[in-house]
Amino acid sequence: MSGLQPNVVRLRWCRLLAAAATLISAMPAAQADPLAEPAVFASSNGLLDLLMIARPKPVSAIQFVPRNSGAAINPVAWIYEVCKRPPSGNQCPADSTTAADYGGVRLKLKAGDTLKIRLVNRLPALDKAKVKHATEPGMSNLPRNPTNLHTHGLIVPPRTPTMQDPTFGDYVFLELYNPANGTPEPTPTPTAHGHGEIKLDFVDYRIDIPADHPSGLFWFHPHIHGLSLNQVSAGMAGIITIGDVGDYIEAPPSTVRHLILRDMQVLAAGTLQYDSGPVTVTDGEVQNQQIADFCEQRDTGGPNARLGFCEGEPDEHGTGNSFIGSRWYFTVNGQVFPTIRVASSAGEIWRLTNASAQFTYLLNLADDHSGKSIAMQLLAVDGVSITVPPGTPANTVMKIAANRFTIVNCPTGANAGSVCVKDLTMMPSSRAEIWVSYRNANGEVVAPPAGATATLKQGVVNLGPAGEAWPSFKLARIEFGNPASDKNTLTVKATEMPTARAMVRPAAMAQAAAPATSRCPPLASGHRRRIFFGMVDPTDENSQFGLGYEEVDQNGAVVAGTQKNVAAFDSNNDAVCLPLGPGSSPVHETWELVNLATEVHNFHMHQTKFRVLEASGLAGTSAPPAATGAAVILEDNVPLPFASSSIPQVIEEQQNGYCTIAQWRDGTCVAPRIVLDIPFSQPGTFVFHCHILEHEDNGMMARISVVGP
């Protein structure tokens, strides 16, 4: 339900699924530049103090050649220019100490560190006709291109300023404007973008990393309601690492790579049909309001085709949008189809981040000689190492990981509890860490044959009858030169549940924890919260997305008076309010997620991690605690399987692919339940939402407050 037109017909993917498989040719793959690591800014003496400027910049690594001209164009992205904070002023020095790359940067921190960022907005104003949500109530400031910052996955307080400390924590109800783009309308007014405090020119953040924060991979990106898709699609994202892989991997290899995956749609000159009507676009213009029907889904052109991009396709649905001459680029650290040389006998650890605004990756490492997938060992998910005791059934591991990867048998002699996979499904915001070494068909680490190569491939992803169908392509070339390792798997150390105790410093806790009130009662023993993902009015193709709510008791019955219909994001009112435990101790709640759509959604909550439970074991009661010795995979985003219906034609043609809560209750629509155990430890106000950012921008987000006991 995203793209230039909300009523785009999505039937082509059914035909494409029956198309011929990708051809395997004996032609050698094209050569590519070596993969470069993102620029690193590391803390020193417990502090990392940065100046970060959001601004436009041409992408030198992408050379777009218009169909009517031989002159290559470097499309203009929006990037973060980053440097150590200078003694004065809001400009970075023009030297090697400054990074300003489309590929992104890495902020290297340790538990107990303090991250300070002065964020400066130098983004350009936008054409109102090309800003999808600009004409909606409360969105008139969007063309002025405000921004802010969210540290995704960090378990830190959503702190607001005080008289003693004017800085912000990980708080998204904030809008930072470039003064050159005009004065924003004040809030609240009937037309202004009233979703947070307004700041001009710059704003200061201070993020205190708790001393017991887990080591792992996290990331940062803007979080402006209505523009998140545009800004992340344009390139505004980077990664954060806490600690080192040695904190949770025994004897890790010396080579650790960070792979930031992002995509960019670059347009050929012409006229496109936006929600506002026909709009002229120019050669090399970046299409920030991305559309799924941009190129054919299947890569059938042999090994030298689709090396990091796909060609735009003609208009097949009468929408007025032909993308002939346009290109969709898929980059690793900002590079198009780079080469990764795995040369060490110890193999390599790859830390992958899906920094796309809405694209879902389905990654596998294919041996170029045999065409078969090379097994990889899964080490961590969403910034936390996995804990899988020996003997855990594979289907249990798949369920608690929400089917984000396909398990294969680890080779004989592998360390007990190891998890080997042949592919990774990474929805927007997902992170995964894997061990990569050359393996034979049995998954055994062996010396590669001379000239052994592989390709990191993207498979076709279909997110349901009403959802997107993402294309296949080749992402990177892999060259193996390593002798055989003396081990088949690495040993993963268990990570303690990161919110098993309060992970904030006492001062921050006292500052943020407002006292509980009658509007924030604790969830009764045995009760759980049920969240619906749907459309406000499924019969209206222009309706907003939204979330519904109800409380369920220990017998599975809905608690009277708690039901809320599906509603779009309201920044002024809490959808959920809950208190911490005695002494501001963490509390665990059980949440049940129900997807009313015939397309997949991707649930994310700020300020915490959660674990997926097997719904069959819930039996209408609250979630059991994690048993000693049980498998635990902690996540901060989880895909929600799409619903099916006994009246599919009605749902697709008359309800835009979305069921109602009433149809779910009477069994007309059936949705697999995703049940979560969520520990809350961070007091303050934050959000939960679908991390397919067009869905978030279109209203599929809600506010939650955690208060003192």
Three-state secondary structure along 450-503?
CCCEEEEEECCEECCCCCCEECCEEEEEEEECCCCCCCCCCEECCCCCCCCCCC
Tell me the C-alpha to C-alpha distance, in Å, between residue 288 and each of 38, 222, 264, 311, 602. Answer: 23, 14, 8, 17, 20
**Residue 156 and residue 209 in contact, taking contact as beta carbons nearer than 8 Å:** yes
Rounded to whole angstroms, the Cα distance separating 215 from 218 reads 9
Please check whether residue 326 lies inside any domain of the structure.
yes
Please check whether residue 95 lies inside any domain of the structure.
yes
- Note whether 112 and 211 are same-domain residues: yes
- Note whether 297 and 391 are same-domain residues: yes
- Note whether 617 and 469 are same-domain residues: no
- State yes or no: cis peptide before 506, omega within 30 of 0: no
- Note whether 109 and 224 are same-domain residues: yes
**Residue 119 and residue 81 in contact, taking contact as beta carbons nearer than 8 Å:** no
Structure letter (DSSP) for residue 409: P
pLDDT of residue 3: 38
Please check whether residue 501 lies inside any domain of the structure.
no
- Note whether 338 and 433 are same-domain residues: yes
Please check whether residue 579 lies inside any domain of the structure.
yes
pLDDT of residue 494: 77
pTM score of the predicted model:
0.92
- Note whether 287 and 238 are same-domain residues: no
Number of domains in the chain: 3
- Note whether 225 and 282 are same-domain residues: no
DSSP code per residue over 34-60: BPPPPEEEE-BTTEEEEEEEEEEEE-T
* Domain-terminating residue out of 469, 492, 515: 492
- Note whether 263 and 318 are same-domain residues: yes
Kindly report the CATH number assigned to the domain that includes residue 207. 2.60.40.420
- Note whether 481 and 333 are same-domain residues: yes
Of 549, 677, 683, 574, which is closest to residue 622 (Cα–Cα)?
Answer: 677
Please check whether residue 498 lies inside any domain of the structure.
no
Rounded to whole angstroms, the Cα distance separating 132 from 142 reads 9
**Residue 268 and residue 325 in contact, taking contact as beta carbons nearer than 8 Å:** yes
- Note whether 471 and 522 are same-domain residues: no
Which residues make Cβ contacts (< 8 Å) with residue 655, sequence separation at least 6?
535, 538, 539
Question: H helices within 544-609, ranges in order?
Answer: none
pLDDT of residue 514: 60
pLDDT of residue 652: 95
Please check whether residue 249 lies inside any domain of the structure.
no
Rounded to whole angstroms, the Cα distance separating 109 from 99 reads 17
* Domain-terminating residue out of 467, 492, 517: 492
- Note whether 157 and 62 are same-domain residues: yes
CB neighbours of residue 537 within 10 Å: 16
Q: Which range marks the domain in which residue 147 is found?
A: 39-243
φ, ψ dihedrals at 204, nearest 5°: -105, 130
- Note whether 207 and 352 are same-domain residues: no
* Domain-terminating residue out of 454, 469, 492: 492
DSSP code per residue over 179-235: GGG-PPPPSSSSSS--SSEEEESEEEEEEEPPTTPPPEEEEEE---TTTHHHHHHTT
Please check whether residue 682 lies inside any domain of the structure.
yes
Please check whether residue 1 lies inside any domain of the structure.
no
For the chain, which ranges sit under pLDDT 50? 1-30, 190-193, 498-511, 617, 619-624
φ, ψ dihedrals at 15, nearest 5°: -65, -40
